[in-house]
Amino acid sequence: MNKIRWKFWTVLALMLLNRSAAALPSVMDPFIRPAPAPENLMERARAATEDRFYILEKWHRLPRGEDGHLDWRYRGSGGDKETAWMLNRHAVLVHLGQAWEKTGNPAFKATLNALFRDWVRANPYPDRMTFSAPWRALEVARRILDAWPYLYFTPGLLDEESRRLMRTSLPHHADALREHASFWGGNHLLTEKLALLQLGVLWPDFPESGEWRDHADAALAEGFLSQSYPDGSYKELSNHYQRVVLRNAHTYLQLLAATGAAHTERPVTARIVKMWEFFAGVARPDGLGPVNNASDLEDNAAFLREVAAFYERPDWLYIATNGTEGRRPEGSPSRCFPWAGQLVLRDSWQSDGDWIYFDAGPYGTAHQHVDRLHISAVLGGRPVLLDSGRYHYRPGPLKSYFRGPEGHSTLLLDGEPARQAPRAVRAPLRLPFSEDRTSAIASAEAAFPEAAASLRAPTRWKRSLLYDKAGVLVIIDQVEAFAVRHYAFRWQFAPGISEVGARRALRPMADAARLRANVRTGTDNPPRGGFFSAQYNRKVPAPMGLFTGWLGGPATFVWVVQDPSEPPVRVRLQRDGHSLAVELAGPEGRRRHEIPR
């Protein structure tokens, strides 16, 4: 550590002797300020005075034991461990503090302090690796990142007994993050080491603070590099967890900048910038990210607007504001990410533009969905095809539906999905992709297990996308089957599209088999289908198109996808030897596109 950093830590430690918000330098404000208060803040605060908490979109009345302590391991009536984990992140304490600041109601402050003291006394530090809700390392980290700094440094919020208990517990939190973090790595480990760094920065008067900071800095620099690909994709390949990791990465660079540490030329900083570029490149015209793998429908654009100035990237601001601010990115708005195996085909950065998302990449290192060659599409700014989302993590039929192929726009043969790609790759993938002024073409392949033990060759599946920039997507599925097989193409439509609209939005043309078409919306009767989840624990009906039949040999299927409010375009498939072409006829005239074989 250089002399400038030592001087900074010495000055900061002296400024923190009184341990109040007024003693903190202003550069530390971002690490103390809590998340914005929810709309129902006062309702949550009043309910907390009666042991009722709002967790994961549901109300819960927490029981107390014979000793009077709250049940901090409570999983809710559904037994969801996520409920217990979220409870131990102490968001309820933050909401009580925000309500007290807003109203001055002493009941909110008294409840906050009583709940905090109850938590500390009911949950002694186990000093070991544990998955218990109070001391799982991720919950330890989230308390340090999201709750405790606000509680501690806001003048008048904690009483003296609570402040003393927190200072007693902080070294235990540091030890849990230093010695008992998630050994398997992943986004948990990054969050945990970031919390250790923040703890060392905000409380530098502990004797071990310097070691906490140095250990955390080294672990984070290595972790961001090893857990992401050179194209900027996070290896779990989920927009939600890319967002989680990027928030951590941004806080990490902010902490380094606030402490005067040299970081702009470090390899980890360059990689974090690439991760932001990926995050911007996959955003939809409305600014939301893809709902791929275990993801919610989250606002990528809002996050980009927050950070564009810090990274001096006006092109991210342009993407986030649909061109009303910032500077237009150079080149085509389409993006190909060869390590992630993801392609985004688009015609502009405008809110009424087209966006085609094609997932042909690795399975992902965690939070995976069985969705080989899934497609999502926004046409004219209107969502048409979507991933179904994650819904929840509780074992059962609905988790299996949202996680499995049934909730995605993909193909099943004999009820089985295509083989998933490896969890991770060591080299960029070969993704055939070409683009010109009027169209973009991409393709990828997958294989199915053999239909019978006597067959040596697997069934091959090639999915090609022709995106005509007049607002038409043509999908060509070539299936090389060498035995009788039952097929089922599933297409997940966006909420807000009716079943009639779904039939207009996607029109099939079958070459070698007779299609049986069915549209299901919000049904649990086999085959289950027609749900979309934008938030954890919430789902709504959304049409699912199901096309089934039998294959007796190689077959080609062609699907035309449009905004259902637009006049249908006529499509004709043309073959000449080994060449394949698609001819479209519509309001824009006739257009012919060659498809690479």
- Asked if 527 contacts 519 with a C-beta cutoff of 8 angstroms, the reply is no
Whole-angstrom distance, CA of residue 109 vs CA of residue 102: 11
Average pLDDT of span 437-465: 85
Average pLDDT of span 217-229: 97
3-state class percentages of the chain: helix first, strand second, coil last, to nearest 5? 35, 25, 40
pLDDT at 540 exceeding the cut of 80: yes
How many angstroms separate the Cα of 195 from the Cα of each of 28, 123, 178, 217, 581? 14, 20, 10, 11, 55
Residue 509's pLDDT band (boundaries 50, 70, 90)? Answer: confident
One-letter amino acid at 29 equals D
pLDDT at 205 exceeding the cut of 60: yes
SS (H, E, C) 370-388: CCCCEEEEEECCEEEECCC
Whole-angstrom distance, CA of residue 91 vs CA of residue 142: 9
Q: Looking at the structure, give the CATH architecture of the domain made up of residues 335-595.
A: Distorted Sandwich (2.70)
Pairing of strands 555-561, 570-576: unpaired
Of the chain, the percentage scoring pLDDT greater than 70 comes to 93
Pairing of strands 472-480, 52-55: unpaired
pLDDT at 468 exceeding the cut of 50: yes
Look-up of token digits 């310097």: 210
- Asked if 374 contacts 360 with a C-beta cutoff of 8 angstroms, the reply is no
For the chain, the domains span 335-595
Pairing of strands 555-561, 506-510: antiparallel
CA dihedral 375, 379, 383, 388 (to 10 degrees): 0
pLDDT at 1: 42
Of 341, 366, 370, 582, give the one whose Cα is nearest residue 490.
Answer: 370
**Residue 558 phi/psi, 5° resolution?**
-120, 135
Of the chain, the percentage scoring pLDDT greater than 90 comes to 81
472: which strand partners?
Answer: 468
SS (H, E, C) 153-166: HCCCCCCHHHHHHH
Classify 270 in phi/psi space as left (phi over 0), alpha (psi -120 to 50) or beta: alpha
Higher pLDDT, 583 or 286: 286
pLDDT at 89 exceeding the cut of 70: yes
pLDDT at 549 exceeding the cut of 60: yes
Whole-angstrom distance, CA of residue 25 vs CA of residue 32: 11
pLDDT at 195 exceeding the cut of 90: yes
pLDDT at 471 exceeding the cut of 50: yes
The residues near 3 (Cβ < 8 Å, ≥ 6 apart) are none
pLDDT 10s digits, 301-325: 999 999 999 999 999 999 999 999 9
Residue 435's pLDDT band (boundaries 50, 70, 90)? Answer: very high
Higher pLDDT, 497 or 21: 497
The least confident of 75-79, 103-107, 117-121 is 75-79
pLDDT at 514: 65
The residues near 589 (Cβ < 8 Å, ≥ 6 apart) are none
pLDDT at 479 exceeding the cut of 50: yes
Sequence-ordered strand ranges (E) for 437-588: 439-448, 459-468, 472-480, 485-492, 506-510, 516-521, 531-535, 538-541, 543-551, 555-561, 570-576, 579-586
- Across the chain, what does the average pLDDT equal? 92
pLDDT at 7 exceeding the cut of 80: no
How many angstroms separate the Cα of 206 from the Cα of each of 165, 168, 170, 201? 15, 11, 9, 10
pLDDT at 21: 43
Higher pLDDT, 104 or 553: 104
pLDDT 10s digits, 127-159: 999 999 999 999 999 999 999 999 999 999 999
pLDDT at 25: 63
pLDDT at 23 exceeding the cut of 70: no
548: which strand partners?
Answer: 488, 516
Whole-angstrom distance, CA of residue 491 vs CA of residue 488: 10
pLDDT at 451: 62
pLDDT at 16 exceeding the cut of 70: no
pLDDT at 14: 42
pLDDT 10s digits, 493-502: 999 999 999 9
Q: What is the DSSP string of 120-147?
A: HHHS----S----TTT-HHHHHHHHHHT
pLDDT 10s digits, 333-389: 999 999 999 999 999 999 999 999 999 999 999 999 999 999 999 999 999 999 999
pLDDT at 99 exceeding the cut of 70: yes
Burial track 156-183 (b if 16+ CB lie within 10 A, e otherwise): ebbbeebbebbeebbbbbbbbbbebbbe
CA atoms in the 13 A half-sphere facing the CB of 268: 20
